[in-house]
């Protein structure tokens, strides 16, 4: 029985996540359901995109990833089921899959999209404000039961894409961006470590501070030091040892990181 | 194997919820356990009542709903197992089931209550401060294993009931109440949409503001607009598009919403 | 199939916990995974030690407890799998198991430690910053699948131990410590109730206040009263009825509680 993962901006207080699981288990009683995050900021499609993109490859093949960050619920935005390589995705057509689709080309993998237009796979009554419960959870459960994407909707080829910032090459090195700040206050950037790995003396300018060189891990420098290092998925990260770099620097998602590679 | 749901005010920090699950799995190793909410405010029986009432119908028949908001733990308050239609409930006799019981009459369904007075279904040592762990979780697990309500306790007919506010008819329309504020800052009221649905020009007065008419969904008005709409369970809700109405209006649970239906 | 529990300082926002579960289910598809806490304060090994020590005995025999509070990730600190009686533990060698090991001697139970030095049981690529994902979760999953501790690593006998505060006997009674503050703001101490249980008129001095005697439970005194009572695991606790003693008293973990037993 495939795993169904959940990524939403629902929070854990109101019971909305429990309701998704109740609906899923009513249709697919043996589904394995795993929470990825329910603390995406309200309506933050980019945040959801980042978290799901980082997490999904660690799940087994044929996992079904349900994502509901859905400011357009009840409007004309399409409900979508997608296949990207060995993984399935169910959620609103709002661009949240953009980083996953951009990676899917390297190496090229099969990618398919289906507009969910078959109400027989939804709850009987569909509200205008909670498609996670009424439409996406039932579809994910039916997919888990073995219903094919073709049966659940009509093939489309034009999913919404987000314009995401990318690191830019400069005369001195790179201009990168903070793309996520984690629970520890570590600043995750969009710059692949490969871009600096041959330059051990690279300098990182961020929020008026400069950090020289990369350390191996958090414990490689004294508590309180600001450090740059390679994160667990191969991107440059800025951290404060045993502290919160975000608070220390007043850093926010979107802030620039200037990387100086020249002497 | 039935689903066991959990609704508590335990929070997720101290390990108390994990302990409930450990106890359940020790007795019913194949139980499917689903969290509804552990972020009910401490001792907030009414909040727990609202969240469980909204969530439980979306779980499969024969689900067992464990609820522990229990300021009276260790006193004479009774521990209770209840059956309401196709669902089971286990928790303190403190009125938390009131809205579920009030709905149970429409249409009338079988309702039974049992005072849990059979210690052979509890942990060996019962503390005075954690009956969730020592009594309610074991009872829910035995119920999951197929033990009957009759075996777990003695039938009673007088569960505690809360006095809940209800919308009042006025000369102009309705006086409703905010009954819950969700993670998004949306204001959920106790007024069924049917009370206003034939009056598209209904006006909603709340915290000194007036909202005219109902929109279809959040995305039907520009970001930042205050709107009224029908929530996902058929009640009137006040929201700010892509924002938090509660913060914008300074609204709290219990605040009045005056609904003007006349011309 | 054994239960795998999770205790970390990862929070629930970033998807890190979901990733641990994805990795586990990829190796042990039928594992039962239960969260104990992911809200341990960042790098707070003592906090993690307290929470896991309190929770683990309520899980079935042969449960596998994965703990990741790991400021030393990527340094020379050893990765460890341990057996303590009927329970297994997997995580960094940082002293987090200290209270569990101290209890393991009463009565004496089998205790074994293994340095995890067999990369064939890890993910193929091991980062320097996320051994929870790359090393500990895979090892816990293999253990769940029946691989022996001996196969996973090399026996060692010198795990890191924390120096934990202990209650001290004084001329008047005891000097105890606040060791945890729970979600309700209750103050948990390190003083076993047996030390005062024969003295109903014991007095408890904390943050400049004095509490006389023990009550039976929270509901045994009027709302707002400060009370001392026996907590659910047999230690002295200070609470405010239907309130938060920590906030009321400005109390912190580590604060002293003077217990006066004499007349």
Encoded tokens for C120: 């064939």
pLDDT tens track for C170-193: 999 999 999 999 999 999 999 999
Rounded mean pLDDT, C133-146 = 98
SS3 C33: strand
Encoded tokens for C185: 């703001």
pLDDT tens track for C120-135: 999 999 999 999 999 9
How many angstroms separate the CA atoms of C235 and B161, rounded? 35
pLDDT tens track for A60-78: 999 999 999 999 998 899 9
> Which contiguous run of DSSP H or E holds residue C125?
none
- Quote the DSSP letter at residue B56: G
In this prediction, residue B237 carries a pLDDT of: 97
How many angstroms separate the CA atoms of B85 and B79, rounded? 20
A130/B216 touch (CB, cutoff 8 Å), yes or no: no
Please name the member of C13, C25, C74 whose beta carbon is closest to the beta carbon of A217: C74
SS3 B255: coil
> Are the CB atoms for B86 and B104 separated by under 8 Å?
no
CA distances from C23 to A231, B241, C132, C137, C139 (A): 18, 38, 10, 7, 10
Strand runs (DSSP E) across chain A, as ranges? 3-8, 32-37, 64-68, 79-84, 87-92, 111-115, 154-156, 168-169, 173-181, 187-192, 203-206, 209-212, 214-215, 226-230, 235-240, 256-260
Q: How confident is the model at residue A108 (pLDDT cuts 50, 70, 90)?
A: low
In this prediction, residue A47 carries a pLDDT of: 97
Write down the residue that tokens 């890190």 correspond to. C16
Of B41, B14, A262, which is closest to residue C58 (Cα–Cα)?
B14
Write down the residue that tokens 């980062």 correspond to. C127
Please name the member of C37, C216, C242 whose beta carbon is closest to the beta carbon of B14: C37
**Average confidence (pLDDT) per 10 residues, chain B, 263 residues:** 96 98 98 98 97 98 97 93 97 97 79 97 96 98 98 97 95 96 97 84 95 93 95 96 97 97 74
Sign of CA dihedral C124, C127, C133, C137: positive
Complex prediction ipTM: 0.96
C183/B17 touch (CB, cutoff 8 Å), yes or no: no
Q: How confident is the model at residue A201 (pLDDT cuts 50, 70, 90)?
A: confident
In this prediction, residue A197 carries a pLDDT of: 73
In this prediction, residue C108 carries a pLDDT of: 64
> Which contiguous run of DSSP H or E holds residue B23?
helix B16-27
C127/A231 touch (CB, cutoff 8 Å), yes or no: yes
How many angstroms separate the CA atoms of C22 and A100, rounded? 17
All chains having 3 or more CB pairs closer than 8 angstroms to chain C = A, B
Determine the straight-line distance between the first and last CA of chain B, rounded to whole angstroms: 55
In this prediction, residue B147 carries a pLDDT of: 98
Strand runs (DSSP E) across A100-225, as ranges? 111-115, 154-156, 168-169, 173-181, 187-192, 203-206, 209-212, 214-215
Strand runs (DSSP E) across chain B, as ranges? 3-8, 32-37, 64-68, 79-84, 87-92, 111-115, 154-156, 168-169, 173-181, 187-192, 203-206, 209-212, 214-215, 226-230, 235-240, 256-260
Task: Please check the confidence at residue C17 and state whether its pLDDT lies above 90.
Answer: yes
Under 8 Å CB pairs connecting chains B and C tally to 105
Listing DSSP states for B151-205 in one string gives: HHSEEES----------EE-SSEEEEEEEEE-TT--EEEEEEGGGTTT-TT-EEE
In this prediction, residue A217 carries a pLDDT of: 94
- Is omega for the bond preceding A107 within 30 degrees of 0, making it cis? yes
pTM of the model: 0.97
In chain B, what residues touch A69 (CB-CB under 8 Å)? none
Chain B interface mutation, best of A18, A79, A125, A135, highest count of B Cβ atoms under 10 Å: A18
């Amino acid at each position: 029985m495939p795993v169904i993962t959940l990524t939403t901006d629902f929070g854990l207080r109101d019971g909305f996540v429990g309701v998704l699981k109740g609906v899923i288990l009513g249709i697919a009683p043996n589904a394995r359901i795993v929470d990825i995050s329910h603390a995406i900021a309200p309506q933050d499609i980019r945040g959801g995109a980042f978290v799901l993109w980082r997490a999904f490859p660690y799940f087994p093949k044929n996992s079904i990833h349900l994502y509901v960050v859905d400011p357009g619920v009840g409007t004309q935005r399409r409900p979508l089921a997608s296949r990207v390589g060995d993984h399935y995705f169910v959620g609103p057509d709002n661009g949240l899959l953009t980083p996953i689709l951009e990676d899917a080309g390297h190496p090229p993998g099969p990618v398919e999209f289906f507009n969910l237009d078959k109400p027989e796979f939804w709850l009987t009554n569909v509200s205008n404000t909670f498609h996670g419960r009424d439409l996406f959870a039932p579809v994910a459960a039916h997919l888990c039961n073995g219903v094919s994407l073709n049966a659940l909707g009509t093939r489309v080829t034009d999913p919404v894409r987000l314009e995401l910032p990318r690191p830019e090459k400069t005369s001195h090195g790179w201009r990168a961006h903070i793309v996520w700040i984690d629970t520890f206050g570590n600043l995750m950037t969009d710059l692949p470590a490969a871009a600096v790995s041959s330059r051990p003396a690279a300098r990182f300018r961020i929020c008026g501070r400069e950090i020289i060189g990369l350390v191996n891990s958090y414990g490689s420098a004294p508590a309180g030091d600001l450090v740059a290092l390679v994160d667990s998925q191969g991107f440059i990260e800025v951290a404060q040892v045993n502290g919160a770099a975000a608070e220390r620097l007043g850093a926010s998602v979107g802030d620039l990181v200037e990387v100086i590679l020249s002497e």
